[in-house]
Amino acid sequence: MQITDTAAIVTGGASGLGGATARALAARGGRVFALDLAPAIEKAEQVEGVTYVAADVTDPEQVQAAVDQAAGSGVPLRIVVNCAGVGWAGRVLGKQGPHDLELFRKVVEINLIGTFNVLRLAAEAVAKTEPLVDDQRGVVINTASVAAFEGQIGQIAYSASKGGVAALTVPAARDLSSVGIRVMTIAPGIVDTPMLATVSDEFRAGLAAGVPFPKRLARPDEYAQLAVSIVEHDYLNGEVIRMDGALRMAPR
């Protein structure tokens, strides 16, 4: 599927994985609608071909409005990349007692329910576009994590939410096959995003040393490169691709 002259929605599009993906799609001729929270958009780099839209992925009305904007942009909406997410930590039983239930609920709401909310509403719009070769209409790419498979101590909420994203990949692909929409998931390892901006160089070096090869943190542009490849490769569907340098997370 070609990216030129199509509309794309990228959530978490103001920075990190989403920001890199929005730039990559725009550079290839896509008309990108980057969804994020208003404070993040205020700090975002202005990029030609990228329109920032303030929207909370867990809010159906805000997401629907963003989908309508993308679908009504004059080119068909065919690409959706879900990058919005949070990584708040907590143990099942910590020094302060049991894991805060509302924190667990919030992580699942943003990472899993937010992803599904965008998936379901965007799919409805993509399904209304004219079919391409092999009756294909578009692709949705979700973001899980290696924590979906090897969650570390303190990642109970994050791992549960990302495990859900990985698990919905196949049924979503099967559900949407009748309307020509592919569904894929990328499971990144440790990526050098703003989430790691506050850690020390020593801690960052320790993280990189744990990656078999190459012994460094992944870059957001490498996630974007993979997302673009998935969009353009019409036979990739219903699969979770790890982008982790062969990393298998230790307990801590």
Catalytic sites, residue numbers: 158
As a three-state string, the secondary structure of 61-109 is: HHHHHHHHHHHCCCCCEEEEEECCCCCCCECCEECCEECCHHHHHHHHH
Q: SS3 helix, strand, coil % of the chain, rounded to 5?
A: 45, 20, 40
Give which of 220, 125, 116 is closest to 165, Cα–Cα: 116
Q: How far apart are CA 130 and CA 20, in angstroms?
A: 28
Q: How far apart are CA 232 and CA 100, in angstroms?
A: 42
E-strand spans in the chain? 7-11, 31-36, 50-54, 77-82, 93-94, 97-98, 138-143, 181-188, 240-243
The partner residues of 131 in beta bridges, in order of sequence, read none
Which tokens belong to 238? 């219903």
The partner residues of 142 in beta bridges, in order of sequence, read 185
Give which of 137, 21, 123 is closest to 63, Cα–Cα: 123
